[in-house]
């Protein structure tokens, strides 16, 4: 067994700190090839996607199936070890990495997709299935997964459930929680709950899928999910619309949501993000150079929705400063590149603080306009790069410090307090993780936090599942 005060932050031989019998037992469960111990092998599992959160782990375990997860959890509980469940490690709030030398249970081998149930329009997939593989699995049946996001090649269905991921199609299908019809998971004592029948109506007590969606690995390790599927809408048209002001973009978003039945996505890129991403991809701003905001709007339907989009854009009148339309796949992908490459573009500039927030529609433009000066009062050298899912009121505020360094810690406090003051949420879709748990009280009352703790104690009495995540420490 390991002792946290000795290991964390020191160059010690972590492997030696685990009881050799325990190591052997772990190896017997998953096989020696899937019980990783050397730092060279565990490194990609211990640092997060942004590089901001770096931990260490005595062991990364890669189980093949639910019963192996169950055995691992029983053994960890007996040995007094804490666990960080991990999927694709694309999370952006530091929740997927072992910050206090926990063991990591990676779901990546649990990527089996069961046959598509075309009659019910559902599928059961392993938690470690990447989103792209799940999409590819169902698309031959003209069906689609309701949630889509730029990390699709790496993020897993289990991780998307655990974070209640949002992405670009929430305006049409809702977030991950809305796609769930059943779940299989391993609880903190190793017991397995499995409810994968996929009945549309099933009021037999508490809803585990709903509870585990957004639980960030703190209540159970998800091993399989039964997902609702949607008809695949192959006829698509996208447009990039430039706006002189943020307010114009907000008003136009509301109008497009009212007038476009085929609306699939309404994404936004603000000024700083547009100049960064266009430099990054080596292309000029397609329309409306010097604008304050650009929307990427996509419509999708069984029959060509181009006229629908063209009419809706016409109806925007002088609100829209300029428009570029993508009819064929290559042009549409070209427009989407400006949106989907922003996260990567920011990462080339340094280590940002990623604040992912939702605002009420009536306060959105005020927020976006005020944030840069709010940040500069705390850290004069910090810059804010903003973009997001405007159809959901979701703005991603990425704050970069001087020379690629992290900004002053106080910027998080200033922005998140401002969000709460305006009636918004401090986490729209990325979760609370480690990054935001000290701010959870801004959105949740004492009574809610007490209820959260009661749920956590009920399902994980020893506190071994992702202990650094979501809930603020008891003494804070
Ligand atoms: P991980 O990062 O491995 O884990 C995330 C959390 O879930 C951790 O707390 C972990 O402990 C827990 N977890 C993982 N698997 C399980 C499991 N099987 N059981 C229990 N707990 C588990 N997010 C959005 O919501 N919308 C976006 O549009 C979006 N775009 C992104 C674009 C890029 C380029 C990147 C890098 C990230 C983006 N993200 C987005 C964030 C990220 O992809 C999502 O949070 C995703 O859901 C994480 O999935 P993952 O498999 O990588 O999970
Ligand atoms: C996105 O919408 O692209 C993401 O959530 C990723 C990010 O916030 O960087
Ligand atoms: Zn997002």
What CATH number is given to the structural domain containing 91? 3.30.43.10
Domain presence at residue 116: no
Q: Ligand 1: residues within 6 Å at CB?
A: 49, 84-92, 95-96, 107, 127, 149-151, 155-156, 158-160, 162-163, 165-167, 216-217, 221-222, 343, 429-430, 466, 469
The CATH code of the domain that includes 428 is 3.30.70.2740
Same domain, residue pair 280 and 327: yes
Expressed in angstroms and rounded, the spacing between residue 49 Cα and the centre of ligand 1 is 10
Closest Cα to atom 7 of ligand 2: 343
Using the mean position of ligand 1's atoms as its centre, give its distance from the Cα of residue 152 in Å: 10
For ligand 2, which residues put their CB under 6 angstroms from it?
92, 150, 343, 354, 356, 396
φ/ψ of 473, rounded to 5, equals: -55, 145
Give the closest residue (by CA) to ligand 2 atom 9.
343
Decide if 448 is inside a domain.
no
Domain boundary among 106, 134, 150: 106
Note down the domain range covering 187: 122-231
Does residue 220 sit in the same domain as residue 266? no
Q: 304 and 273, same structural domain? A: yes
pTM over 0.85: yes
> Same domain, yes or no, for 227 and 159?
yes
Atom nearest to 165 CA in ligand 1: 25
Classify strands 383-389 and 394-400 as parallel, antiparallel or unpaired: antiparallel
Of 80, 130, 76, 132, nearest to 105 (Cα)? 76
- The Cβ-side half-sphere exposure at 375, using a 13 Å CA radius, reads 26
Here the CATH number for the domain that contains residue 287 is: 3.30.70.2190
Same domain? For 330 and 375 the reply is: no
Distance, in Å, from the CA atom of 355 to the CA atom of 432, rounded to the nearest integer, reads 10
Number of domains in the chain: 4
Does residue 336 sit in the same domain as residue 357?
A: no
Residue 365 falls within a domain, yes or no? yes
Choice from 274, 277, 343 to test ligand 2 binding pocket (greatest atom count within 8 A of CB): 343
Instruction: State whether 79 and 157 are in the same domain.
Output: no
390 and 442 Cβ atoms separated by less than 8 Å: no
In a domain, 276, yes or no: yes
Measuring CA to CA, how many Å separate 194 from each of 95, 187, 345, 416? 25, 11, 41, 38
Give the C-alpha separation, 1 to 19, whole Å.
Answer: 5
Please indicate, yes or no, if residue 316 is contained in any of the structural domains.
Answer: yes
Cβ proximity of 269 and 296 under 8 Å = yes
- Digitized pLDDT (tens) for each residue of the chain, 476 residues in all: 333 323 333 444 555 578 999 999 999 999 999 999 999 999 999 999 999 999 999 999 999 999 999 999 999 999 999 999 999 999 999 999 999 999 999 999 999 999 999 999 999 999 999 999 999 999 999 999 999 999 999 999 999 999 999 999 999 999 999 999 999 999 999 999 999 999 999 999 999 999 999 999 999 999 999 999 999 999 999 999 999 999 999 999 999 999 999 999 999 999 999 999 999 999 999 999 999 999 999 999 999 999 999 999 999 999 999 999 999 999 999 999 999 999 999 999 999 999 999 999 999 999 999 999 999 999 999 999 999 999 999 999 999 999 989 999 999 999 999 999 999 999 999 999 999 999 999 999 999 999 999 999 999 999 999 999 999 988 75
Ligand 2 atom with least separation from CA of 267: 2
How is residue 267 written in tokens?
A: 């994404």
CATH code for the domain of 191:
3.30.465.10
* Atom 45 of ligand 1, nearest CA residue: 91
Sign of the Cα pseudo-torsion (78, 79, 82, 85, in order): negative
Lookup: tokens for 309: 């989009």
Determine the atom of ligand 2 nearest the C-alpha atom of 167: 2
Rounded-to-integer distance, Cα 8 and Cα 3, Å: 9
Residue holding tokens 């050799």? 20
């Amino acid at each position: 067994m390991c002792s946290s005060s000795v290991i964390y932050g020191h160059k010690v031989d972590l492997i030696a700190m685990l009881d050799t019998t325990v190591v052997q037992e772990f190896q017997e469960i998953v096989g020696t090839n899937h019980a990783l111990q050397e730092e060279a092998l565990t490194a990609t599992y211990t640092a997060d996607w942004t590089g901001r959160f770096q931990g260490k782990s005595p062991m990364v375990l890669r189980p093949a199936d639910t019963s192996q997860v169950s055995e691992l959890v029983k053994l960890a509980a007996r040995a007094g070890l804490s666990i960080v469940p991990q999927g694709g490690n694309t999370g952006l709030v530091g929740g997927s990495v072992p910050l206090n030398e926990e063991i990591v249970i990676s779901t990546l081998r649990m990527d089996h997709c069961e046959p598509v149930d075309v009659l019910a329009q559902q599928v059961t997939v392993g938690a470690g299935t990447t989103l792209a593989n799940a999409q590819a699995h169902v698309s031959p049946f003209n069906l689609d997964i309701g949630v889509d996001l730029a990390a699709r090649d790496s993020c897993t269905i289990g991780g998307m459930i655990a974070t209640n991921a949002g992405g670009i199609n929430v305006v049409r299908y809702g977030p991950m929680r809305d796609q769930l019809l059943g779940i299989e998971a391993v609880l903190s004592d190793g017991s397995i709950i499995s409810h994968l029948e996929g009945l549309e109506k099933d009021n037999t007590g508490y809803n585990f899928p709903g509870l585990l969606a957004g639980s960030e690995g703190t209540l159970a390790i998800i091993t399989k999910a039964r997902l609702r599927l949607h008809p695949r809408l192959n006829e698509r048209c996208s447009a990039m619309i430039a706006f002189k002001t943020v307010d114009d973009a907000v008003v136009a978003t509301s109008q497009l949501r009212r007038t476009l039945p085929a609306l699939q996505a309404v994404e936004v890129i603000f000024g700083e993000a547009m100049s960064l991403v266009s430099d990054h991809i080596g292309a000029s701003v397609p329309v409306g150079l010097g604008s304050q905001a650009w929307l990427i709007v996509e419509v999708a339907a069984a029959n060509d929705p181009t006229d629908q989009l063209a009419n809706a854009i016409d109806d925007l009148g002088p609100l829209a400063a300029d428009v570029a339309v993508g009819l064929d796949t290559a042009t549409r992908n070209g427009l989407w590149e400006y949106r989907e490459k922003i996260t990567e573009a920011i990462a080339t500039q340094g280590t940002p603080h990623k604040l992912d927030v939702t605002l009420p529609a009536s306060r959105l433009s005020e927020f976006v306009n005020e944030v840069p000066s709010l940040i500069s009062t705390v850290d004069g050298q910090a810059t804010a790069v903003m973009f997001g899912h405007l159809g959901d009121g979701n703005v991603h505020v990425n704050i970069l410090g001087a020379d690629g360094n992290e900004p002053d810690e106080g910027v998080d406090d200033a922005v998140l307090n401002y969000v709460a003051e305006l009636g918004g949420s401090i986490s729209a879709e990325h979760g609370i993780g480690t990054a935001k748990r000290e701010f959870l009280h801004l959105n949740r009352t004492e009574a809610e936090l007490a209820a959260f703790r009661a749920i956590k104690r009920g399902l994980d009495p020893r506190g071994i599942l992702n202990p650094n995540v979501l809930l603020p420490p008891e003494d804070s």
